[in-house]
Amino acid sequence: MAEAGDRAIPTRIAETLDKVGRGAVRGVAEVGLGAMLFWQSIYFIFLGRSREQPLRIAATFERAMEVGIRALPIVTMLSVTMGIMFAIQGIYTLRVFGAEEQVTIGLGISIVREFGPLLTGIMVAGRTGSSLAARIGTMRISQEVDALEVMGINPVRFLVAPALIAMIVMVPLLTLWADLMMLIGAGWYVSVDLGMSFAAYATRIIEVVEVNDLLHGLAKATLFSILITLVGVINGASVEGGAEGVGRMTTRSVVLSISAIIVTDMIFAFITTRS
Amino acid sequence: MNNPAANRDLARQRPDLSDAPMVIDIQKLVTHYGSREILHSINLGVREGEIMVIMGGSGSGKSTLLNTLLGLLRPTSGQVHILGEDLTQISDVEKTLLRRKIGVAFQGGALFGSLNVLENIMLPLREHTKLDVNTMRIMARLKMQVVNLAGFEHLMPSELSGGMIKRAAFARAVVMDPKILFCDEPSAGLDPIVASAIDDLILNLRDAMGMSVVVVTHELESAFRIADRITVLDKGDILMTGTVDEIRSAKNERIQNLLNRRTETETLDPDEYLKRLTAAND
């Protein structure tokens, strides 16, 4: 028994190391695949027409509608709610110091620089990233991706490039909308709770928020849009084993996208606040 | 074979293609999935205008062979010449150009769910030609008539029956008038009447358009009806390539097992089995 136990420990260590090693190799391979997909998409977006492989304009508009316009109701509702929540918390915290009126500074800067892009990124990851992974995964198991290849149609041009350009355009626009809705939600609560007029609140926000803050948020939103698209495509393209596989990779896509958004957000904030 | 229709088709006049040039020439093809060797040094040729059926049981390697021919799998070694181009040597651009000369009807149809039937069939024309939309529509509708799908242009793939999906897949596969048509399990999952109609469709397409057809199937009746020659694959090796009559009269036990739907029984020597078990525990 003791011998069997002694043997089991190195075996378990070896199995763990094996799993870690395989996970690391897979991670590196996925990063490489993501970089290749991004490069190829950019190639087709800018040089496709001259190489007789043009970007599919109709599909790009359809994707843009899906990413942006059809997401407006949910983004509006959640943004207004989050704005009210930030105002409640902000006023509650500043009341300790008797500085409730200063809540507009925190609201303006944190919403435009941080919470607008983050909330939009997370919502788009859950909504569009998952549907992209599921769509490509379903196409893969029903041999539609193979069909594209054997028809001489590059799947990256056909599937990835329209999704990527639609996301790069629509996610920053959606972020601007989310910023506005959060600020309106917060402004409504501030005016009710502090008795400040909405016009005074708006003037204060315009004074506080600089163009740089806006650009900071939009740059992050653009980065998030690329991450969500690539994570969705990579996971969709890795689907194996039928409908169950599609479900598994769709979930993985959402989890990885949100994780990537949060980590990137932290790194971005760290780098941009150093200079 | 008591089916009169099948007997009639077995007796159909098959063209003499012995002098026709090769459109597919495979030499010493070896293909791996990971570390597992699936195809073991295969040699095979398909002539212009010929219907070649690749037959075999599950795991025989026929799907791997098809995927290798379509360029979806990279061979480990050997040569695969399609229309004179060596698949193992050509660039991606040359491969794309070559793919415009072949058509593929996938087992499940592989129609794009976001496009209706007409748009699916028009897709290769849209991507590879500069024809105006009206001309493309006319060409796609002509192919729809050939496969008996006229009138169903605006249905979505989810609204089609199994047989209709296969027909639409055939129409899309031949819309560019390919020189070679590949069909993966064309009659799988269809009732006998629809399956028979698909067989007729393959014969009609070959006769009308003069293309070579490679059909991968494990449906014996279908294979005997449509094939000019049959290649029998088993465990990654070609057991035999020959005409329908040659295959039917083959003495090879594994071919007869396949034709008579007999499972292979492995006879185990008890001593050998014990030795194997002991070796596994060492």
In the chain, the amino acid numbered A210 is E
Q: What does chain B come to in residues?
A: 282
Report how far residue B209's alpha carbon sits from residue B162's, in angstroms, rounded to the nearest whole number: 24
Shortest CA gap B111–chain A (Å): 7
Cross-chain residue pair B72–A149, CB shorter than 8 Å:
yes
Shortest CA gap B242–chain A (Å): 28
Interface size, chain A vs chain B, as Cβ–Cβ contacts under 8 Å = 48
The encoded tokens of residue A120 equal: 């939009």
Residue in the structure block whose two tokens are 């490509």: A136
- State pLDDT tens for residues A151-163: 989 899 999 999 9
Cross-chain residue pair A152–B96, CB shorter than 8 Å:
yes
Residue B281's pLDDT is 55
Residue B280's pLDDT is 56
Query: Residue A223 pLDDT more than 70?
Result: yes
C-alpha A220: how far from its chain's center? Answer: 9
Shortest CA gap B98–chain A (Å): 8
Query: Residue B1 pLDDT more than 50?
Result: no
Residue B250: phi and psi, rounded to 5, are: -65, 145
Shortest CA gap B4–chain A (Å): 36
Cross-chain residue pair A150–B99, CB shorter than 8 Å:
yes
Per-residue pLDDT band at B11 (split at 50, 70, 90)? low
Q: Are the CB atoms for A170 and A220 separated by under 8 Å? A: no
Half-sphere exposure of B273 (CA within 13 A, CB side): 5
Query: Residue A84 pLDDT more than 80?
Result: yes
Query: Residue B5 pLDDT more than 50?
Result: no
Residue B84: phi and psi, rounded to 5, are: 85, -10
pTM of this structure: 0.82
Q: Tell me, yes or no, if B123 comes closer than 8 A to chain A by beta carbon.
A: yes
Report how far residue B50's alpha carbon sits from residue B16's, in angstroms, rounded to the nearest whole number: 9
Report how far residue A143's alpha carbon sits from residue A148's, in angstroms, rounded to the nearest whole number: 9
A-proximal residues of B, 71-100, CB under 8 Å: 71-72, 95-97, 99-100
| Nearest chain A residue to B70, by CA | A150
Q: Tell me, yes or no, if A151 comes closer than 8 A to chain B by beta carbon.
A: yes
Report how far residue A203's alpha carbon sits from residue B1's, in angstroms, rounded to the nearest whole number: 89
Cross-chain residue pair A147–B110, CB shorter than 8 Å:
yes
- State pLDDT tens for residues B190-204: 888 888 888 998 998
Q: Name the region of B129 (left: φ>0; alpha: ψ -120 to 50; beta: rest).
A: beta
Q: Tell me, yes or no, if B106 comes closer than 8 A to chain A by beta carbon.
A: yes
Query: Residue B2 pLDDT more than 50?
Result: no
Question: Which of A143, A153, A154 is facing B110, going by the closest CB pair?
Answer: A143
Interval A216-232 mean pLDDT: 96
Report how far residue A259's alpha carbon sits from residue A253's, in angstroms, rounded to the nearest whole number: 10
| Nearest chain A residue to B175, by CA | A151
Residue B259's pLDDT is 81
Question: Which of A139, A146, A151 is facing B124, going by the closest CB pair?
Answer: A151
Residue B177: its chain A contacts at CB < 8 A? none
**DSSP secondary structure code for residue A51 in this structure:** G
Query: Residue B70 pLDDT more than 70?
Result: yes
Cross-chain residue pair A151–B99, CB shorter than 8 Å:
yes
Q: Tell me, yes or no, if A153 comes closer than 8 A to chain B by beta carbon.
A: yes
Query: Residue B231 pLDDT more than 50?
Result: yes
Helices (H), A48-129: 57-67, 72-95, 103-110, 116-124
- State pLDDT tens for residues A99-116: 888 999 999 999 999 999
Report how far residue B153's alpha carbon sits from residue B184's, in angstroms, rounded to the nearest whole number: 24
Q: Tell me, yes or no, if A150 comes closer than 8 A to chain B by beta carbon.
A: yes
Per-residue pLDDT band at A4 (split at 50, 70, 90)? low
Query: Residue A226 pLDDT more than 80?
Result: yes
Question: Which of B71, B110, B127 is facing A153, going by the closest CB pair?
Answer: B127
Predicted ipTM > 0.95: no
- State pLDDT tens for residues A32-48: 999 999 999 999 999 88
Question: Which of B200, B233, B197 has its CA nearest to residue B69?
Answer: B233
Q: What is the 3-state secondary structure (H, E, C) of B77-139?
A: EEEEEECCEECCCCCHHHHHHHHCCEEEECCCCCCCCCCCHHHHHHHHHHHHCCCCHHHHHHH
